[in-house]
Amino acid sequence: TCLNTMYPANSAGASIDVSQMAGLSLQMYVPSGNPKYLKSDDPTTSNRLYSGVDANNLTETPTGQKVDIFTIVPCGVTSYQAWEDGGTTVPTPSSNADFFYSVTGKCDFNKRPSITALTQ
């Protein structure tokens, strides 16, 4: 488990090594929200996450779908994500989201191999 607390936009941000992770999800805690926890791997709250490679054209995650973070962060390209914290009913345009940030993925990363072994 890796936990990283993000700071205001004027900070340097974070660098997270995901090379040994088999999976990755995002969670946002909203103390006054309902629900309080919004998670990218929870199909009941993931529709509050927006993503895309154009900061002005983000796509809302469809209701009932888990998000594969490795898929929405393309290799070597800056991608953009945003969260709607619960103050606005979804679906809604991404311009109504409350938290916006960018992420750049490395190109030399492969998901950790599964425990399945091929034998002869």
Report pLDDT digits (tens) over 46-87. Answer: 999 999 999 999 999 999 999 988 888 887 888 999 999 888
Distance CA 22, CA 79 (A): 21
- Residue 74 belongs to what domain range? 27-104
Residue 5 lies in a domain: no
Distance CA 101, CA 6 (A): 10
Count the domains in the chain: 1
Residue 32 lies in a domain: yes
Residue 116 lies in a domain: no
Residue 66 lies in a domain: yes
In sequence order, what E strands does 1-120 have?
Answer: 27-29, 37-39, 49-52, 59-60, 78-83, 99-104
For residue 45, pLDDT over 70 is answered with yes
Residue 110 lies in a domain: no
Residue 70 lies in a domain: yes
What integer pLDDT is reported at residue 115 of this predicted model?
Answer: 55
How far, CA to CA in Å, does 65 sit from each of 5, 44, 49?
A: 25, 8, 11
> What pTM did the predictor assign?
0.76
pLDDT > 70 fraction of the chain, expressed in percent and rounded: 75
For Cα atoms 96, 57, 25, give the angle at the middle one, nearest 5 degrees: 75
Residue 81 lies in a domain: yes
Residue 75 lies in a domain: yes
